[in-house]
Amino acid sequence: MTQDIFKNNGNQPPTEIQDEYQFVATPTKKPKQSSLLSGSKGVLFGIGLGALLTLAGTKFIAQPKTTEAPQNVTPVVSAPAQSVTVSTVQLSPVNRTLKATGTVTADELITVNTQANGLQIQEIYVDEGASVSAGQLLARLDDSILQAQLAQAQASVAQAEARLAELKAGTRTEEIARAREIVRQSIAELTQVKSDWDLAKKRLSRNQTLEAQGAIARDRLDEAINDERSKLAIVRRTEAELRENQQKLAELQAGPRSEVIAQATAQLAQAKSQVQVITAQLRNTRILSPVNGKITKRNARVGDTTNSGSQGALFEIIEAGRLELHVKIPENQLTAIRTGQKVEITSDADSSLILIGTIREINPVVDVESRQATVKVDLPFSNTLKPGMFLRASIVTNSATSITVPMDGVLPQSDGKAIAYIVQSNNTVIAQTVSLGEILPNNQIEITNGLNPGDRIVIKGAAYLNDGDKIQIKS
C-alpha cells in the first residue's frame, strides 16, 4: 500500500525501504535454517537484516515521544465564581407622570404710584428685594407747598366758623340800643331839614310875588328857587337814611334770617372741604405699601419728580411673595390633569430645590400654533424662587401596578437597550434584554418587558459579568 502512495506521487521508494517492507510482508513461514545460514544467500540475508535494523533504529531515534507533555504548555484552569448580590423581582405601585416645563411669574403684581403730580421725591426707605408689610412707609415726597396751603385753608375754616357762630347767637342788646339811637338821630335830623325846607319854600313864595310886582330882580328869585330845591334834596336824603336805619333796627330786633345762616353754613363747609383736599394731597406725599409682599422693582429715585400717569409707577410688589408657575401642557394631555392636583417642582440650576405646588387654573384656550394650553400652578413660599426662573413640573396622572427593580440591576447598552442578569438554578446568569418604564423613588425603575415577578437578578457586581458566568451569591 505504501508503494501505491508513492506511485501516486510519481516517486520510487529507496531500496532500503523496499527491502524493509519486503521483509515485513514476508510470509510467516519459517525458512529452513540450513539454507538461510549457508552459502551466499546467508551472507545476503545478514547484510539485508543489518540494513533493516539500521534504518529502523534511525527512525526510532528521529521520532519524538508522544507520551511526554510539552514543557512550555500552560495548563487550563477554570475561572472562579463571581461574588454578587441579587434581588427578587416584585410588583410595586407605579405613578404615571406628565413632565412639563414652565416659568415663574408673580401671582399678584401690585404697582405702587402716587396721585401727587409734580412733587419731588425727597426720601426712599426700601430697596429691591425687601420684604414689606401693609402700610409700611416706602418713600416721602416734598410737601412744603401743601403744608402752606393747608394752613391757609384752616384759617378760612376758622373765620367761617366764627361768622356762623355769631349769626346763630343772635343780636346783642347794646347793638339794638345803638341802632335805636341812630334812628332817633335820623328822625331829629329829618325834622330840622324839613323845617329848613319849609322856610325856603316860604321865601321862594315871597320872592315870586315881589318879582311879579317888579320889586326885585330876577336873580334874587332864581336864588330862592335854588335854595328851595337844595333844601328839598336834603330832606329826601335824610328820609332815606332814616328808613335805612329803621330797617337795620328792625333786623337787629328780629335777629338773623335763616337764609343768612344757611349761607354762612355753606361757606364753612366749603372751607372745610378745601382742608380735606389738601390733607389728602399731603397723605399722597407718603408712599405706603398697600399689601404685605416683596419689592421686585424700584423705579423711584431721590430728586425725581412724580408723575401720576401710567408711567409713574414708583415700586412693584409681589403680594405676600406669592409666585406661580406657568406650565405649557399639550392639548391631548389636558384631560389627564385637574385643578387642585399636586405638582412636584424641580430646578435644573439647583438640584436641592424640590417643591410641591398645586394646580390653580387650567386655561381653556389652546394656542393655535403650539397646540398647548397654559396651566397655572401655585407655588409655596421660598426665598430661592424669583420671577422669570425656569422650572420643571411632574404631575402624577394615574397609578398602576408594575414590575420594579433596583436601578443597579439594569445595565444600559451602547445600542440604546438595557440588560439584566437573571440568576439560574445552577448559579449561573443569563443576560436578558429589558424594556424600561418610569424612574421611581428609592433608586427603583419600572420594567415593562423582559422580566417576570419572582425572577432573581444581580444588582451588585452585574457590571463585571458576562452571559453564562458562574456566580456566588452573597447573603
* CATH code of 451's domain: 2.40.420.20
Q: Are residues 437 and 375 in the same domain?
A: no
Q: Which residue has the higher pLDDT, 328 or 17?
A: 328
pLDDT at 300 over 80: yes
Q: Are residues 366 and 420 in the same domain?
A: no
Helix (H, G, I), strand (E, B) or coil at 246: helix
**Which residue's C-alpha cell is 324839613?**
194
Alpha helical stretches, state H, 396-452: none
* Predicted local distance difference test score (pLDDT) of residue 451: 94
What are 342-365's pLDDT values in tens digits?
Answer: 999 999 988 899 999 999 999 888
Q: Are residues 210 and 251 in the same domain?
A: yes
Among the three residues 255, 270, 305, which one is the final residue of a domain in this structure?
Answer: 255
Residue 20 pLDDT grade (very low, low, confident, very high; cuts 50, 70, 90) = very low
Q: Are residues 331 and 385 in the same domain?
A: yes
**Which residue's C-alpha cell is 338821630?**
185
Read off the CATH number of the domain in which 306 is found: 2.40.50.100
Q: Are residues 234 and 307 in the same domain?
A: no
> How many domains does one find in the chain?
5
Query: Max Cα separation, the chain?
Result: 249
* Predicted local distance difference test score (pLDDT) of residue 28: 39
Which has the closest alpha carbon to 100: 381, 370, 384?
A: 370
DSSP state of 457: E
* Predicted local distance difference test score (pLDDT) of residue 429: 95
Q: Which residue has the higher pLDDT, 14 or 440?
A: 440
Q: Flag whether 329 is in a domain.
A: yes
Q: Are residues 301 and 340 in the same domain?
A: no
pLDDT at 185 over 70: yes
Q: Which three cell numbers stand for residue 40?
A: 551466499
* Predicted local distance difference test score (pLDDT) of residue 21: 34
Q: Are residues 44 and 88 in the same domain?
A: no
Helix (H, G, I), strand (E, B) or coil at 194: helix
Q: Are residues 388 and 369 in the same domain?
A: yes
* Predicted local distance difference test score (pLDDT) of residue 4: 41
What are 248-290's pLDDT values in tens digits?
Answer: 888 777 666 677 788 889 999 999 999 999 999 999 899 999 9
pLDDT at 232 over 90: yes
Q: Flag whether 77 is in a domain.
A: no
pLDDT at 137 over 90: yes
Q: Flag whether 146 is in a domain.
A: no
Half-sphere exposure of 4 (CA within 13 A, CB side): 1
What are 85-99's pLDDT values in tens digits?
Answer: 999 998 988 888 889
For residue 434, is it left (φ>0), alpha (ψ between -120 and 50) or beta?
Answer: beta
Whats the size of the chain, residue-wise? 475
Residue 3 pLDDT grade (very low, low, confident, very high; cuts 50, 70, 90) = very low
Q: Which three cell numbers stand for residue 395?
A: 404631575
What are 386-434's pLDDT values in tens digits?
Answer: 888 999 999 988 888 899 999 999 999 988 899 999 999 999 999 999 9
Between 44-53, 177-186, 236-245, the lowest mean confidence (pLDDT) is in: 44-53
Between 13-27, 50-64, 103-117, 135-149, the lowest mean confidence (pLDDT) is in: 13-27
Q: Flag whether 464 is in a domain.
A: yes
Q: Flag whether 424 is in a domain.
A: yes
Q: Are residues 324 and 359 in the same domain?
A: yes
Q: What percent of the chain has pLDDT over 70?
A: 80
Q: Flag whether 10 is in a domain.
A: yes
Domain assignment of residue 209, given as a range: 171-255
* Number of alpha helices (DSSP H) and beta strands (DSSP E) in the chain: 8, 20
CB burial of 330-356 (b: ≥16 within 10 Å; e: otherwise) equals eeeebeebeeebebebebeeeeebebe
Q: Are residues 346 and 298 in the same domain?
A: no
pLDDT at 378 over 70: yes
What are 202-217's pLDDT values in tens digits?
Answer: 999 999 988 888 888 8
Q: What percent of the chain has pLDDT over 90?
A: 45
Q: Are residues 179 and 120 in the same domain?
A: no
pLDDT at 11 over 50: no
Which has the closest alpha carbon to 205: 225, 183, 226?
A: 225
Q: Flag whether 144 is in a domain.
A: no
Read off the CATH number of the domain in which 390 is found: 2.40.30.170
Among the three residues 238, 255, 272, which one is the final residue of a domain in this structure?
Answer: 255
* Predicted local distance difference test score (pLDDT) of residue 101: 93
What are 109-136's pLDDT values in tens digits?
Answer: 888 988 888 889 999 999 988 889 999 9
What average pLDDT score do residues 366-375 get? 91
Give 350-369 as a DSSP string. -TT-EEEEEEEEEEEEEPTT
Half-sphere exposure of 165 (CA within 13 A, CB side): 6
**Which residue's C-alpha cell is 406669592?**
322
What average pLDDT score do residues 55-73 get? 44
Q: Flag whether 261 is in a domain.
A: no
* Predicted local distance difference test score (pLDDT) of residue 79: 63
Q: Are residues 182 and 193 in the same domain?
A: yes
pLDDT at 435 over 60: yes
Distance of CA 394 to the CA centre of its chain: 17
Among the three residues 240, 255, 270, which one is the final residue of a domain in this structure?
Answer: 255
